[in-house]
Each structure stands twice: as C-alpha cells, then as structure tokens.
Amino acid sequence: MKAAIALVSILMLSSQTSAEEARQVRQGQPVAVTSDLAYLLFREDPRQGPGDFEYVLARELQKTILPLDHVAAPPQFDAQASLIRTDARYPYVNDAGQKSYLLAVPPGVYSIVAVTYKRMPAIGTCLCMGTVRFEARAGMLNDLGYLLGAIEDKPSRLPELASYTGSLDWTHTTPALALMTVRPSTDEMGAPSSLRTLPRTRAKYAAAGKFPNYFRTMINRVPPIAGVLAYEGDRAINPQVPER
C-alpha cells in the first residue's frame, strides 16, 4: 500500500512539474526526489514581523557557481527560464509562527533578483546593484537557511538588517524600498520532519554582480554578508577569494 501511495505521489509530481517549470510546494503536497528537480527550503524569521516578504529568483545560464572570482560576475540570465516568485501565503510548514517554505525548481544556479512584500502585485525592489546566487542541486533538498526581508524606513528587529533600516525618512525610501538578506544554513537549523528522508545539502551562497534594472523599479542591493558578499564601492565582491 505504501508503495502504491509513493507511486501515485511521484506520478502526481511528474504531472505537475516539467523540467522547465518551478512551483511552490504547499503544506501536505507530495515531495519526492527526481533527477530533474531540486528542492529549495527556506525559513522566515518571525522577528521580521508581519512582513510577508516575497522573493524573486532567476535562473542563470551557468550550471555551477564555481570558480569564484574576487569581483563577482554579474548574472547571465537564462532567457528560457521562468522567473520564480515565492508566495508568502503558502508556507510548507507553519509551526506556531515558525514558517518554512519549499520550492521545487529545475536544477541550476539561481540569483535572488528582487524582494517585495505584502503580496503587492508588483516586483518591488530590484536587487540589481548586488545580490547573492546559489546552486540548486538536482535530487536534493537545498537548504537556503533563512531569507530575511525588511522595509528601509521601518526599524527591523533582525540583527542582519537592523543597521540598514529605520534611519531614512520617506523622502528617501518612497514609495517603499525593501531590502533583504540571507542567513545561510547551519547544522543547527532543523528541516521539517516530512523532509528528513530527502538527501539534504546546505546551499552555498556567492556574490553576484550588478545587472540592469530590467524591471524599471526601485533599486537596492543585498547588504554585505560575512564570508559571502562584500562591496568595493559599487562592485560586489566574493570576500573569501583574494584579489589577484
């Protein structure tokens, strides 16, 4: 019986997801490992408040983030890949406010290209002056750690974003300049129990250089992240790679 349920689950999965489509997995939906699919798990820090931040991911042409250069390469977007916007309405797990989200995506390298909030029907703020990329490995649960959002003219309780928020008045942030960062996965971050059978890998982040404001929206960049992302002026840097 269990085998039959598993088979049905896999069939359902393959009927919903082709190699070129991505989807957000909702609570209770089946999850199964396939070679043409990568799962992305990320968490929300409840301290960010009722933010309902959402993130836009874009797949790149390259298949791996390596090798890294000191000056981060700009993303080379795959024009065949659909952009992915996360949906804050559908966490995969909501355990007393501790929310985790799950995406099933084609394997590859992804950049986080925009952040928006409160389910606005708009792309929000472009992270086009510096962001992070990561590798989504096939057949794996790729643990992205936490994705963290804030609005710049409102103080954030998130330690990573507190110093970037609250000090600018509305004339500097109008209409609503959002920013985001990542808290990379650690061994201490547990995965939802229903995903523990999946082979899991901690996603490695790297810096991604600036790209054009394709969305014609507000611009920003991901603030520096220790060991992942730094800036020299307006150039995004991989701080772990020495300058040659």
Partner 1 sequence: MRRLVGACLILTAVLASSATAETSAASLPDDIRTYRPAPGDAENFWRYFFFWKRGVTQEMARKDLLECAAYSHGPVLWARVPERMPIGEDVKGPNGTEGGYGLVGAAIFSLVEGGLVQRIALANMRRCMGFKEYGRYGLSSALWRSLNAGTPDKTIDQLAIVAAGADPSQPKGLAP
Residues that bind partner 1 (CB under 8 A): 56, 58, 74, 77, 79-83, 85, 113-114, 120-123, 128-130, 167-168, 171-175, 177, 209-221, 231, 233-234
The residue (of 67 and 212) whose beta carbon lies closer to partner 1 is: 212
The residue (of 38 and 56) whose beta carbon lies closer to partner 1 is: 56
How far from the centroid of its chain's Cα atoms is residue 203's Cα? 10
Q: How far is the CB of 109 from partner 1 (least distance, A)?
A: 14
Q: How far is the CB of 137 from partner 1 (least distance, A)?
A: 22
Q: How far is the CB of 6 from partner 1 (least distance, A)?
A: 33
Three-class SS of the chain: CHHHHHHHHHHHHHHHCCCCCCEEECCCCCCCCCCCCEEEEEECCHHHCCCCCEEEEEEECCCCCCCCCCECCCCCECCCCCCEECCCCCCCEEECCEEEEEEEECCEEEEEEEEECCCCCCCCEECCCCEEEEEECCCCEEEEEEEEEEECCCCCCCCCCHHHCCCCCHHHHCCCCEEEEEECCCCCCCCCHHHCCCCEEECCEEEECCCCCCCCCEECCCCCECCCEEEECCEEECCCCCCC
Measure the CA–CA gap between 91 and 10, rounded to whole angstroms.
21
The residue (of 36 and 170) whose beta carbon lies closer to partner 1 is: 170
The residue (of 49 and 223) whose beta carbon lies closer to partner 1 is: 223
Q: What are phi and psi of 129, to 5 degrees?
A: -105, 20
The residue (of 22 and 144) whose beta carbon lies closer to partner 1 is: 22
Q: How far is the CB of 59 from partner 1 (least distance, A)?
A: 9
Q: How far is the CB of 116 from partner 1 (least distance, A)?
A: 8
Q: What are phi and psi of 171, to 5 degrees?
A: -70, -20
The residue (of 83 and 189) whose beta carbon lies closer to partner 1 is: 83
The residue (of 33 and 71) whose beta carbon lies closer to partner 1 is: 71
Q: How far is the CB of 113 from partner 1 (least distance, A)?
A: 7
Q: How far is the CB of 7 from partner 1 (least distance, A)?
A: 33
